[in-house]
Structure 1
Amino acid sequence: MAGVVEAASALAPLREELHCLPGPQGFDGAPTWTLHDPANNRFFRIGWQEFEILARWAVGQTEAIAQAVNRETTLHIDADQVGEFAQFLLNHNLLRLSGDAGLQRLRQQVAMRKQSWAQWLLHNYLFFKIPLLKPDALLAWLYPRLAWIYSGQFAVLLMGCALLAGFLLSRQWERFLATFPHFFNWSGLAQYFLALMLAKTLHEFGHALTAHRYGCRVPTMGVAFMVMYPMLYTDASETWKLSSRRQRVAIAGAGIAAELGLAVFAALAWNFLADGPLRSGVFLLATSTWIMTLAINLSPFMRFDGYYLLGDWLGIENLQPRAFAYNRWHLRRLLFGLEQAPPESLPKRWQWFFIGYAWCTWLYRFFLFLGIALLVYHFFFKLLGLLMMAVEVGWFILRPIWSELAVWRNLGFDAWIKPQSRITLLLLIVGIAVLVVPWQGHVLAPALIKAERYAEIYLPTAARLDTWQVKTGQAVKSGELLAQLSSRELDFQARNSALEGQLVEWQLAYQGLEQNLNQRRQVLLKELESAGAKQAGFRHQQTQLTIQAPFDGVALDLNQQAQVGQWLKEGEALLIVADPGSQLIEAYVAEEDLQAVGQADSAVFYPDQPGMSPISCRVERIDQGGAARVPAMLASMHGGAIAARFDAQQQAVPESAVYRIILRPEAESQNLPHFPGERRGSVRLDTPASGLLRRFVRQVTTVLVRESGF
Structure 2
Amino acid sequence: MSFTNTGSNHQTHIRHQTKPQTRITKPDPMERPTFSQNWSRVSRLTPTLRPHVQMTRQLFRGEHWYVVHDPISNNFFRLNPVAHHFVGLLDGKRQVDEAWRLTTDRYADMAPTQNEVIHILGQLNQSNLLRVDLPVDAKPLLDRSNRRKLKQWTGQAMSILFVRIPLINPDRFLTWCLPLLRPLLSKVGLGLWFIWLAYCLWQFLPHVGEFVNDAESVLAPANWGWMILLFLITKAIHEFGHGILCKRFGGAVPEMGVMMLIMMPAPFVDATSSWSFASRWHRFLVNAAGMMFELAIAGGAALVWLHETANNPGSLTAQLAYNIVFMASFTTILFNANPLLRFDGYYMLADFLEVPNMYDRATRHTRWLVQRFAYGMENAQPVATAAGEQWILLLYGIASQIYRFFVLAGIILFISGQLLTIGLLLGAWSFIAWCVVPCSKFFHWLFTSGQLGEQRKRAIAVTFIFLIGVFIGIGVIKVDEHKRTEGVIESAKRTDVAVQTNGFITDIYVEPGQQVKAGDPLLKTENPELLARKAELESELVKLDIEKRMAMIKDLVDMKIANAKKGVILDELADINDRIANQTLTASQDGTLIAADFKQLQGQYVQRGQVIARIADLSQLRVTALVSQSQSAAAMSKQIQKVELRTVGNVEKVHESNLLMAFDSGRSYLPHPALSKNAGGQIAMDPEDPKGQKTLRPQFELWLELPEEMQPAMQQGQLIAAPALLGERVYVRMTLPKRPLLYQWMTSIRQLVRDRLQF
With the length of structure 1 as denominator, give the TM-score of the two structures.
Answer: 0.66
* Superposition deviation, residue 320 in structure 1: 1.2
Aligned to 1:89: 124
Q: 1:321 offset after TM fit, Å?
A: 0.7
Change in Cα spacing, 1:332 to 1:523, as seen in structure 2 (3 Å) is farther
| Deviation at residue 249 of structure 1 after TM alignment | 1.9
Specify the SS of the correspondent of 1:233: strand
Match of 2:476 among 421, 433, 438: 433
Structure 2 counterpart of 1:415: 459
Q: Distance in 1 between matches of 2:305 and 2:732?
A: 59
Asked whether the equivalents of residues 123 and 146 of structure 2 are also in contact (C-alpha less than 8 Å), the reply is no
**2:327, 2:278 → 1: CA distance?**
33
- 2:163 is aligned, of 107, 128, 152, to 128
SS class of match (1:287): helix
**Which one is further off, 51-60 or 28-37?**
51-60
Query: How do 1:129-148 and structure 2 match up within 5 A?
Result: 129-148=164-183
Structure 1: which amino acid aligns with 2:354?
G
1:591-629 Cα shifts (integer Å, max 9, x gaps): 444445665599999999xxxx99999x9x852334744
Partner of 2:359: 320
Structure 1, gaps ≥5 residues long: 465-471, 473-480, 550-554, 560-569, 664-675
Aligned residue type for 1:357: Y
The aligned counterpart of 1:69 is 103
Distance 1:303 1:498 in 2: 80
Q: 1:7 aligns with which of 34, 39, 46?
A: 39
SS of equivalent to 1:150: coil
Residues in 1 aligned to 2:283 and 2:732: alpha-carbon distance in whole angstroms: 62
Equivalent residue, structure 2, for 1:36: 69
Q: Distance in 2 between matches of 1:182 and 1:386?
A: 29
Give 2:571's aligned residue.
532
1:612-666 per-residue CA deviation (whole Å, 9 max, x = no partner) reads x99999x9x852334744589xx879xxxx9679999999988985434799xxx
CA distance in 2, matches of 1:703, 1:13: 62
Compared with structure 1, are the counterparts of its residues 605 and 656 closer, same or farther at alpha carbon in structure 2 (3 Å cutoff)?
A: same
1:195–1:281 CA contact under 8 A, matched in 2: no
Determine the structure 1 residue equivalent to 2:428: 390
Shift in Å at residue 261 of structure 1? 4.3
What is the aligned length? 648
Structure 2 contact 592–618 (Cα < 8 Å) conserved:
no
Shifted more, 103-112 versus 52-61: the winner is 103-112
Highest Rg: 1 or 2? Answer: 1
* Residue in structure 2 matching 1:625, options 652, 660, 666: 666
Q: How does 1:86-485 map to 2 (within 5 A)?
A: 86-95=121-130, 96-98=132-134, 100-101=136-137, 122=157, 125-155=160-190, 196-263=231-298, 283=321, 287-288=325-326, 290-292=328-330, 294-295=332-333, 296-330=335-369, 339=378, 341-380=380-419, 382-396=420-434, 399-400=437-438, 412-415=456-459, 425-426=468-469, 428-434=471-477
Q: What is the CA RMSD across the aligned residues, in angstroms?
A: 6.7
> Cα offset for 1:385?
3.6
Specify whether residues 408 and 597 from structure 1 end up closer, same or farther in structure 2 by C-alpha distance, changes over 3 A only: farther
Using the alignment, how far apart are the partners of 2:671 and 2:581 within structure 1?
33
Q: Which deviations, in whole Å up to 9, do the C-alpha atoms of 1:145-177 show, x marking residues without a partner? A: 432223455456556666776788899999999
Q: Cα distance 1:505–1:441, how it changes in 2: closer, same or farther (>3 A)? A: same
Task: Give the Cα–Cα distance (whole angstroms) in 1 for the partners of residues 341 and 556 of structure 2.
Answer: 87
Following the alignment from structure 2 to structure 1, what is the Cα–Cα distance between the partners of residues 578 and 304? Answer: 68
**Residue in 1 that maps onto 2:608:** none
The one of 690, 693, 696 aligned to 2:742: 693
Q: Report the 3-state secondary structure (helix = DSSP H, G, I; strand = E; otherwise coil) of the residue aligned with 2:665.
A: coil
Q: Residue 93 and residue 530 in structure 1: after superposition, are their counterparts in 2 closer, same or farther (change >3 A)?
A: farther
1:555-601 deviation digits (Å, cap 9, x = unpaired): 98699xxxxxxxxxx999889799x9xxx999976544444566559
Counterpart CA distance in 2 for 1:268 and 1:548 is 49
Q: Gaps (5+ residues) in structure 2?
A: 1-35, 508-514, 594-610, 647-655, 705-716, 718-723
Report the AA paired with residue 6 of structure 1: N
Native 8 Å contact 2:174 2:243 kept in 1:
yes
Query: For 2:625 and 2:550, how far apart are their aligned partners in 1?
Result: 65
Q: Give deviations 1:509-529, integer Å, cap 9, x for gaps.
A: 336269999889879746633
8 Å Cα contact 2:416-2:756 kept in structure 1: no
CA displacement at 1:92 relative to structure 2: 3.8
Q: Is the 8 A contact 2:359 2:397 kept in 1?
A: yes
Instruction: Show the counterpart of 2:88.
Output: 55
CA gap 1:170/1:705 in 2 versus in 1, 3 angstroms:
closer
The 1:30/1:598 distance shift into structure 2, 3 A limit, reads same
Post-superposition CA distance 1:522-546 (Å, at most 9, x none): 797466335336537867998999x
Counterparts of 1:171 and 1:38, CA distance in 2? 49
Amino acid at match of 2:183: W
Q: 1:179 to 1:417 in 2, by over 3 A?
A: closer
